[in-house]
A and B are shown apart, each in its own frame.
Chain A
């Protein structure tokens, strides 16, 4: 934007600030000398050690790597389900007014409501295993995808549709050649927001259903007053979450490089 020098200076400032912050945190934790304020160095070593089972107190069956993997498998299933059903429902609602009116009371309500409140209900219905997690994560992710797809379909420029119609295009042609391509950037925004929500869904379901995986690792650390462990798990989840979001953004730029700005529908 403003040349390499300015860019370098700004990032230098960021790095300086981070070093200052981490340094202050490290010093503060060493001075306070309680396990309640672990420094960054301890968190990092704990994070590394958590990937082998000896690093985690109370000898769980899984190390952090396996726990992350088993947490993110239901996420992939749920996210793919949410993508497929969310996009199709959004398009259906967008091209059919009656369908929209029939469904939008439920979708708007569930979109605005805190889904986490439903986790205990889902435990009741689906138990503590794979299915419950998939359902919770699906509910976290699907509504933002529906709402964004719907917005995209509804924002089809009327001029294009009229033009196509006056040249005798069929409804099907208009939908497949104008409506859907126009909606793709919006859909991609929905998918990006959806992956963020899905990651949150993973964390919430893991913590509330804390019988296996990440949840049990965190509660083991808690039981031993190991705040460094809790922070380490949070850092690990954060890194995985950022990688996943980055992947979707990459996909977004690949599939819908046009109209990147200004298309976003706010949450």
Chain B
């Protein structure tokens, strides 16, 4: 968002003045966005209500999709299904954080360990994990354990690689300076390497959330006997696009909200050096 205005030093602004300027700036910035979203919904509604009866099933209007979402929560048990996806996802994700960060740091500190582990990390990082989901169903069943494993595998390599990048990119000057003043390796590690790596780690943690969500969504779609997959299958077989679309919209919104939450946490924990820190996907 653009800055709402300039306050000179010593100049006091009243509360409603501040809010007023902020609101104006916000409105100026976002009018077109609201217009765009609003008109898209109107167009969607108009197009769906003008659809001839035969094809109406292929383009349910926003009001029908909304009704289907309510129905999914009330009678199909979408709430429990979402929770049943969220809990293993978070378990896998936190396990990935708890394992990925230390592993990344160890790899970043010791070149030998890095060389020893990185073939696996890089190999699994590019491996099509989706294609492995059927194998994971054999190994872990279709329940909690399997979903947690999928979320873990989808997210852990991002965290390892980003932590590794952060640890390796510690500026040598700082380390040398500290060393020439007699700092111990542990001091250097704690006071220079780790703070330097934190923004990278947070980028990894954020991207990993996105990946964990992707993993769990695919797992849910592939397992159509329980959970969200079952609800989608029920709607699909009844030829009810409003339900399928509604569930998809709920999942996507959930994904966006979770990613946004992690982004917010990232800005809170490591607001410095946000830009350069990134290791791209």
Residues of A within 8 A of B217 (CB): 114, 116-117
Q: Is B268 an interface residue (CB 8 A)?
A: no
B32 partner, pick from A16, A98, A144, A207, beta carbons under 8 A: A98
B116 contacts A13, C-beta separation under 8 Å: yes
Interchain CA distance A219-B32 in the complex, whole Å: 47
Interchain CA distance A203-B256 in the complex, whole Å: 23
Interchain CA distance A124-B245 in the complex, whole Å: 10
| Least CB distance, A104 to chain B, in whole angstroms | 7
| Least CB distance, B86 to chain A, in whole angstroms | 13
Q: Is A167 an interface residue (CB 8 A)?
A: no
Residues of B within 8 A of A219 (CB): 134
B128 contacts A234, C-beta separation under 8 Å: yes
A227 partner, pick from B133, B138, B232, B280, beta carbons under 8 A: B138
Total A residues in contact with B, Cβ cutoff 8 Å: 60
B256 contacts A112, C-beta separation under 8 Å: yes
With A10-B115, A98-B32, A218-B134 as contacts: A266 and B248 at CB distance below 8 Å: no
Q: Is B221 an interface residue (CB 8 A)?
A: yes
Interchain CA distance A245-B118 in the complex, whole Å: 19
Segment among B10-18, B44-52, B184-192, B207-215 that sits at the interface with chain A? B207-215
Q: Can you list, as one digit per residue, whether each of B167-211 has a CB less than 8 Å from chain A (1) or not (0)?
A: 000000000000000000000000000000000000100010010
Segment among A53-61, A76-84, A235-243 that sits at the interface with chain B? A235-243
A14 contacts B119, C-beta separation under 8 Å: yes
Q: Can you list, as one digit per residue, whether each of B225-268 has a CB less than 8 Å from chain A (1) or not (0)?
A: 00000001000100001001101100111011001100000000
A237 contacts B210, C-beta separation under 8 Å: no
B127 contacts A114, C-beta separation under 8 Å: no
Q: Is A142 an interface residue (CB 8 A)?
A: no
| Residues of A82-121 contacting chain B, CB below 8 A | 98, 101-106, 109, 112-114, 116-121
B210 contacts A266, C-beta separation under 8 Å: no
Q: Is A3 an interface residue (CB 8 A)?
A: no
| Least CB distance, A208 to chain B, in whole angstroms | 6
Interchain CA distance A113-B58 in the complex, whole Å: 22
Q: Is B130 an interface residue (CB 8 A)?
A: yes
| Least CB distance, A223 to chain B, in whole angstroms | 10
With A121-B248, A124-B244 as contacts: A18 and B236 at CB distance below 8 Å: no
A200 partner, pick from B37, B130, B137, B251, beta carbons under 8 A: B130
Interchain CA distance A106-B253 in the complex, whole Å: 12
B127 contacts A13, C-beta separation under 8 Å: no
Total B residues in contact with A, Cβ cutoff 8 Å: 59
| Least CB distance, B147 to chain A, in whole angstroms | 14
A189 partner, pick from B32, B133, B253, B280, beta carbons under 8 A: B280
A237 contacts B131, C-beta separation under 8 Å: yes
A103 contacts B36, C-beta separation under 8 Å: yes
With A102-B36, A106-B40, A124-B236 as contacts: A199 and B128 at CB distance below 8 Å: yes
| Least CB distance, A186 to chain B, in whole angstroms | 11
Interchain CA distance A113-B130 in the complex, whole Å: 17
B203 contacts A101, C-beta separation under 8 Å: no
Q: Can you list, as one digit per residue, whether each of B267-281 has a CB less than 8 Å from chain A (1) or not (0)?
A: 000000000111111
A102 contacts B33, C-beta separation under 8 Å: yes
Interchain CA distance A117-B105 in the complex, whole Å: 34
Interchain CA distance A227-B140 in the complex, whole Å: 13
Interchain CA distance A16-B116 in the complex, whole Å: 8
Q: Is B35 an interface residue (CB 8 A)?
A: yes
A120 contacts B280, C-beta separation under 8 Å: no
Q: Is B54 an interface residue (CB 8 A)?
A: no
B131 contacts A208, C-beta separation under 8 Å: no
Residues of B within 8 A of A41 (CB): none
| Residues of B106-132 contacting chain A, CB below 8 A | 111-112, 115-120, 123, 126-128, 130-132
With A14-B118, A116-B214 as contacts: A101 and B33 at CB distance below 8 Å: yes
A17 contacts B115, C-beta separation under 8 Å: yes
A225 partner, pick from B138, B213, B277, beta carbons under 8 A: B138
Q: Is A44 an interface residue (CB 8 A)?
A: no
A207 contacts B241, C-beta separation under 8 Å: no
Residues of B within 8 A of A119 (CB): 221
Interchain CA distance A36-B276 in the complex, whole Å: 44
B131 contacts A234, C-beta separation under 8 Å: yes
Q: Can you list, as one digit per residue, whether each of A214-250 has a CB less than 8 Å from chain B (1) or not (0)?
A: 1000110110010100110110011001100100000
Given contact pairs A14-B116, A113-B253, A233-B131, enumerate 10 new A-B contacts (beta carbons under 8 Å).
Answer: A98-B32, A109-B252, A114-B252, A117-B251, A196-B281, A200-B128, A222-B137, A227-B135, A231-B132, A265-B280
Nearest 7 A/B pairs, CB to CB: A266-B278, A113-B252, A267-B281, A101-B32, A264-B280, A234-B131, A13-B115
A-B contact pairs, 11 of them (CB 8 A): A17-B119, A21-B120, A112-B260, A113-B256, A114-B251, A117-B247, A117-B251, A118-B248, A120-B248, A207-B131, A230-B131
B interface residues with partner A (beta carbon < 8 Å): 29-30, 32-33, 35-37, 40, 58, 111-112, 115-120, 123, 126-128, 130-135, 137-139, 203, 207, 210, 213-214, 217-218, 221-222, 232, 236, 241, 244-245, 247-248, 251-253, 255-256, 259-260, 276-281
